[in-house]
Amino acid sequence: MSDALPTTSTSPRHLPERSCVACRRKRPQAEFVRVVRQEGVWAVQAGKRSGRGAYVCSDSPACWQDKKLRRAFGAQAVQVAAQLLEKQNAAQPSQPGSA
Ligand SMILES: [Zn+2]
């Protein structure tokens, strides 16, 4: 298979692709946690669609480390990382957290 890549696309489509700000992987939007900046503060938002958004893998703790989030969230990466962990803990209320 040596299909040439399309050198010129007739119409440049702007697909709403989502990619993780930590690992840069492209995935369906349902697999991301959305982080929204409102009034200069980044916060994990559930189902809210206002402000500027960023996406982080919802199932990959490796992507929740503040050092990986820093290039997207800067000094607020620590807070965002903490919220991602909290969100994960909240999703499993019956777990004693002995892991
Ligand atoms: Zn990721």
47 has pLDDT over 60: no
80 has pLDDT over 80: yes
Mean pLDDT of 51-60: 89
Query: If you write DSSP's letter for every residue of the chain in order, what string do you get?
Result: --PPP-SS-SS-------BBTTT--B--GGGEEEEEEETTEEEEESS---SEEEEEESS-GGGG-HHHHHHHHGGGHHHHHHHHHHHHHHT-TT-----
- How far, in Å, from the CA of 49 to the mean position of ligand 1? 20
- How far, in Å, from the CA of 3 to the mean position of ligand 1? 30
In this predicted structure, what is the pLDDT of residue 46?
A: 63
Confidence of residue 92 (pLDDT cuts 50, 70, 90): low
- How far, in Å, from the CA of 95 to the mean position of ligand 1? 24
- How far, in Å, from the CA of 68 to the mean position of ligand 1? 9
pTM here is 0.72
